[in-house]
A and B are shown apart, each in its own frame.
Chain A
Amino acid sequence: MTILVIAEHENGAVAPATLNTVAAAAKIGGDVHVLVAGAGVGGVAEAAAKIAGVAKVLVADNAAYAHQLPENVAPLIAALAQEAGGAAYSHILAPATSNGKNILPRVAAQLDVDQISEIISVESADTFKRPIYAGNAIATVQSTAAIKVITVRATGFDAVAAEGGSAAIEAVAAAHDAGKSSFVGEELAKSDRPELTAAKIVVSGGRGMQNGDNFKHLYALADKLGAAVGASRAAVDAGFVPNDMQVGQTGKIVAPQLYIAVGISGAIQHLAGMKDSKVIVAINKDEEAPIFQVADYGLVADLFEAIPELEKLV
């Protein structure tokens, strides 16, 4: 059994979600190969070769793979999976990031197999658990496909060590350029705080923050705690903060040690994104708010008084 893990990388570095995905691959068992596809990704490949438990790194360094356009990357992965006419890999895993979600179903369809999305646990080499209905039910799914195509929810698996491995690096010559799409530009939100999905502490604000300016109270608290700042959909839709801060079913899934929900009612869709956090704190002036049903510690208080006080005390 050999497993191919599609590396997530950005700005010349391996993204943390790749380490969680390698951990999922290790649970399945077998040799783990990592594919690094992109343009100018030699450094990423070297970093990937150091990940603990990786046997081989494949590097597809070609202008066609810049910005991970799925029309070009998916045929590359499908071709690697079917090398030598059969199934060269028993499993293809990608982190359930926006890239992984974009590319992998395209690969699965090209291989004519069903995909299993966002697994949270490995039961055996062919059986996996995944949440459905916004996390209100957990399905156990078995795949009979010759090549199992799977995305991995990073928060479901503890990351493997980024150092300690010494995998061989092998270049992949194949270049697939479908010529159907092109990259125009990007607008990335800048932040000095830890990445939301990898942070140990997350402080999130909702509609109760009233406006975007008031988020400065959360930023101050977050900086004191070394935390990332998230938001509910209500706060994003109201224009308080950019949408890449959204935590929930349709935003990011986080599972930090401590999640502090401030002025968030706790709709099903928001809970889907944070209810696996180790400790949940809710600060809300409405004592009937559903968030208190999942909170380990609840404080019924006006957030504009509680947050500055909290910042002072931590």
Chain B
Amino acid sequence: MKVLVAVKRVVDYNVKVRVKADNSGVDLANVKMSMNPFCEIAVEEAVRLKEKGVASEIVVVTVGPATAQEQLRTALALGADRAVLVESAEELTSLAVAKLLKAVVDKEQPQLVILGKQAIDSDNNQTGQMLAALSGYAQGTFASKVEIAGDKVNVTREVDGGLQTVSLNLPAIVTTDLRLNEPRYASLPNIMKAKKKPLETVTPDALGVSTASTNKTLKVEAPAARSAGIKVKSVAELVEKLKNEAKVI
């Protein structure tokens, strides 16, 4: 089966971002960018399905600026077969991205689409679900285990109280949670080979998708800072402070 994996270029998870002084957004100039951690897990899962002989081809897709090619090349080095870049310089909402991905799904006709559960920049947790709605497919979100069984896929999901398993008809959409797998690193020879793998670039216009949004970000602020705390010397002092100063126990 063909597996489509969507990845996103985001600010590296270790970077402590700063809000711009004019409150227009966060400052991403000269900040390290990487593949969203949940997307790495999605790529890894697709590669494992291929290694098991379940997947025959892995197509990796991203919606983003020209520089997002770096993240596609990373996915190719990890084992994806070819890549599609939907090039858009502006920042798009999850719905717009889902519509663009739907156009790619229509063209590629994959049996399984794997996305991360959320991007660590917008923290939206929407795109996979929206893509499932637009394509009419079943969805297995927050997956910690994925098993293909004939024309169905069994997905174990991380829910608030524990784990839930659902069976979905293929084609289906799966979004990854942290514990689905541990992504591998790309080896140097594979990074070199990835440079020769096909990478196609398309535009939203060519896909016939409007990326207009009903959401507008008015401003971005730094969160209220916590006032500095104190260090106590002993457990007894801690208990005394909690009882008499903070009055929380």
Contact = CB atoms under 8 A, between A and B. Distances in A.
B124 A115 contact: yes
Interface in B228-244: 229-236, 238-239, 241-242
Contacts, number: 257
A137 B222 contact: yes
Nearest to A268: B16
Nearest to A75: B133
B141 A102 contact: yes
A275 interface: yes
B178 A116 contact: no
Interface in A99-157: 99, 101-110, 112-118, 127, 131-145
A210 interface: no
Residue from A182, A296, A306 whose CB has the most chain B CB atoms within 10 Å: A296
B13 A281 contact: no
Interface of B is mostly: mixed
Interface string A178-211: 1111111111110000000100010000000000
B239 A109 contact: no
A166 interface: no
A127 to B, nearest CB: 7
A252 B160 CA distance: 8
Interface size class of B (residues with CB under 8 A): 35 or more
Contact of B129 (A102, A252, A297): A102
B146 to A, nearest CB: 13
A164 interface: no
Given A180-B138, A188-B161, A298-B231, A137 B221 contact: yes
Contacts of B248: 201, 257-258, 278-279
Interface residues of A, number: 90
B129 A180 contact: no
Given A137-B221, A137-B223, A250 B177 contact: yes
A20 interface: no
Interface stretch (A26-34, A39-47, A63-71, A167-175): A63-71
B88 interface: no
Contacts of B217: 139-142
B93 interface: yes
B192 interface: no
Nearest to A248: B178
Contacts of B160: 97-99, 197, 244, 252
Interface string B52-81: 000000000000000000000000000000
A62 interface: no
B73 to A, nearest CB: 25
Contact of A184 (B165, B169, B222): B165
Interface string A223-264: 001000000010011000011100001101000011000000
Given A187-B162, A244-B161, A299 B242 contact: no
A105 B235 contact: no
B164 A297 contact: no
Residue from A103, A107, A137, A280 whose CB has the most chain B CB atoms within 10 Å: A137
A298 B248 CA distance: 15
Interface of B: 11, 13-14, 16-17, 19, 26, 93-95, 98, 117-118, 120-134, 137-139, 141-142, 144, 154, 157-169, 172, 177-179, 213-223, 226, 229-236, 238-239, 241-242, 246, 248-249
20 contacts: A71-B138, A101-B129, A102-B142, A106-B132, A106-B133, A107-B133, A108-B126, A132-B123, A140-B221, A141-B217, A144-B215, A181-B166, A182-B167, A250-B117, A258-B249, A279-B246, A292-B229, A297-B242, A298-B229, A313-B239
Given A102-B129, A141-B218, A314-B249, 4 more contacts: A181-B168, A201-B248, A236-B179, A244-B159
